[in-house]
Amino acid sequence: MTSRQHAGDSARLAVVVGALGVVFGDIGTSPIYTLQTVFNPDDPHPVPVSDANVYGVVSLIFWSVMIIVTVTYVLLATRVDNHGEGGIMALIALLRGSAERRGRKAALVLAALGIFGASLFFGDSMITPAISVLSAVEGLKVVQPSLGEAVVPITAVIIVALFLVQRRGTAAVGRVFGPVMICWFAVIGAAGIGGIIAHPAILKALSPTYALSFLSGHFGIAFFALAAIVLSVTGAEALYADMGHFGRGSIVRGWLLLVLPACTLSYFGQGALVLQNPAHVSSPFFLLVPGWGRLPLVLLATAATVIASQAVITGAYSVASQAAQLGYLPRLRIAHTSESSIGQIYVPWINWLLMVSVLTLVFAFRSSAALAYAFGMAVTGTITITTLLFFYVAHQRWKAPLWLMGAGAAILLAVDLLFVAANLTKLAHGAWLPLLIALTAFTLMTTWQRGRQIVTAERERREGSLPGFIEDLRTHRLPTSTVPGTSVFLNRGKLTAPLAMRANVEHNHVRHEHVIIMSLQTETVPRIPAEDRIVVDDLGYADDGIVHVIARFGYMETPDVLAALRQLHPDTTEGDLDLEQASYFLSKIELRLGTEPTMAVWRKHLFVATSYITADAAEYFRLPRDRTVIMGSHIEV
């Protein structure tokens, strides 16, 4: 093997290890609570502990993981990407792009459905840290029952610490995530082998006949059991959403070679333990190891669930950032926490919202079993919507026969919808929570999108025609003095005059020698190459010293105006621009409630209230504070 091949193999191994630390945390910690939840005697629809039921449940868990995770996500969904990026927001961007190019109304409808799926993910990101850390700390009750009262306070302390360190970024901690998760999967796999050796007959559950006979012969029990069995596939969306960071190959190898075998061994080992002694169903995961190993396992499980929580928290940052870029949320203050990894960001507003929400869930539900009823609804909803969007996009991209795509979609959606139906039976027991969170987030995002359209239309009306404005400057209908230097006006397009520019001319009667009207354009791709970042159009006004510049950014990028302007070539701007001394002008719009029937009154109030979380424009666009001028105006909605 050559040194180059060895270096390549080492790099691929490092990426796989990194993926193990970020991508598989959620799904890799599911064995802690899944089987225990299925047989929870306090469940409103309990599953009796019997040999036939244990074989059926373990078989259902295994085949659910194979169908939903291995087939739907690993083998199929990861093959459809948006320039390397995956996840539900990438699918929404592809659908919007299809609708814009071909005018397909179906794509817009599905994109709206995708926004509801993304909204469900916010519910998932609130519930995952609560249920994961709770389930790990609950292992203390197995080690020492008297510690039961300490579970909730310890969980709360861990969660607060987790959210407090988010501002520091995950770069430093991330280096140990992979090795910790490798240790985790090795330990749960070894513990599972120990259980299987003690009762090898459990391996019969590998046959799908046990799952099918459990469903068909005991449907009244099995149907309700599905609401807990779905917990085995939590985190499947992360496999797809994090594809852009690690690549499809690393995710496939990590899943097939380590994560799937380890989780399977754990589930089968727990099933074997319950067959031997039904009393162990109270906590089969921790009871699978000898007494001396339970406290270390609790500590390792806590570390693994913190990693799982970290992954879903950063996922929430990413989804919120992408939603803002696509126009579904206002500008949010975003901090980049790594100089080497573009995807590592910190969104303060989302961080504190999540922390308060997670702590509320911990103190309200107080156990992982109680939270499980809520968790399943968020997971099944997101999976079902992702499956539907995937098949639509795949049909458009692959041009496969409609009957073939329809047949595949029907089979996989039938499985997904069966899980959704089962979780709907838990509405009164907690499943309403993620639906309420999703409905709230969906209402907020669609209201912001609609309100933004209304404000943009009114703003364009007030701005007036840019050609007409420049003609007024030429003919001195707007008397102005020209001063040396460069001014940059941020505007939404090249057809209208920037409000700040119009105000500066009408009130101050001055303009700069060089004027750049700059539009920031968010594309439906994750990132834009540097060479394609800038598009210059002199609009025929170069002699007047006015040019229009479009700066293109992907939906996963944070706009950097100054960096983009530095890419301008003097030949395209009629001479050198003094960007280091340039003045930057922003138009600040104050929203007020109006009487026009543009939206329902309650949506107007929501839109105006949401506007208050908008990040400071100068900071968001990375403009120099000492050379940025903000000129205000107000618009009624």
235-246, pLDDT tens digit by residue?
888 778 777 767
The rounded percent of the chain whose pLDDT value lies above 90 is 28
Q: Do 73 and 384 touch, CB atoms closer than 8 A?
A: no
- What is the rounded CA–CA span in Å between residue 516 and residue 462? 20
- What is the rounded CA–CA span in Å between residue 35 and residue 271? 8
Find the helix packing angle between 151-164 and 105-137, rounded to 10°.
130
DSSP code, position 340: S
The rounded percent of the chain whose pLDDT value lies above 70 is 91
The pair phi, psi for residue 57, each rounded to 5°, is -65, -45
- Output the average pLDDT for the chain: 84
Burial classification of residue 49, based on how many CB atoms lie within 10 Å of its CB (0-12 exposed, 13-18 middle, 19 or more buried): middle
- What is the rounded CA–CA span in Å between residue 110 and residue 94? 11
Please name the fold of domain 12-430: Amino acid/polyamine transporter I (1.20.1740)
Domain ranges of the chain: 12-430, 450-636
pLDDT value at residue 260: 95
Q: Do 232 and 65 touch, CB atoms closer than 8 A?
A: yes
Task: Please compute, for residue 157, the number of CA atoms within 13 A of its CA located in the half-sphere on the CB side.
Answer: 7
The residue with greater pLDDT, 2 or 107, is 107
Return the amino acid letter for 305: T
pTM attached to this predicted model: 0.80
pLDDT band at 343 (very low <50, low <70, confident <90, very high): low
Task: Please compute, for residue 634, the number of CA atoms within 13 A of its CA located in the half-sphere on the CB side.
Answer: 7
Structure-token pair, residue 360: 């509320």
Lowest mean pLDDT among 95-104, 315-324, 448-457: 95-104
Exposed e or buried b for every residue in 628-637, given b needs 16+ CB within 10 A? beebeeebeb
Residue 436, classed as helix, strand or coil, is helix
Round the CA-based radius of gyration of the chain to a whole number and report it.
28
pLDDT tens string 626-637? 888 887 777 878
The residue with greater pLDDT, 185 or 395, is 185
The pair phi, psi for residue 568, each rounded to 5°, is -65, 140
